[in-house]
Structure 1
């Protein structure tokens, strides 16, 4: 799948927000944004993937606050596959005003 740079920028913005909230550096932020943007053509799914990643980072606690973190590709694969599966199964629904 070719990378849509609007989706890439959206992923970067979400990842930068995670960095800001937890005061850490995602060492491979550009690579992670490309992985995320390559998984979907829906900006709301990017938000869902990044929200799940945010929860994962939160659960890592102080381990993450030691300067920087390198997000493994397999983690993005697992998260994105699950988000997309839930959407296909109808378990993730958009609010009516969308």
Structure 2
């Protein structure tokens, strides 16, 4: 469902949104291997592409499915740098899926 949200001057705003779950009859189970990135990089490797293609194929069959992408880093580097790298990796993953026709 959709509903309008008014503009604010900033700060924290709480929005209560009642959501109804989307039910998929006999939902598919997708088993992925861990997706690893090269040290200090966010590009999708050949191995990662193979795993992500499993998601792409499922999303083509079930276009209403929503996938949440999260990414992590190791503990090398500062917290701020690792957060930035993690965000770049997640965005790279989403871009890969979009580039395969999911949007």
Tell whether the structures are fold-level matches, with TM greater than 0.5.
Answer: no
Structure with the largest fraction of helix: 1
TM-score normalised by the chain length of structure 2? 0.24
TM-score by length of 1: 0.25
Structure (1 or 2) with the greater strand fraction: 1
Larger Rg: 2
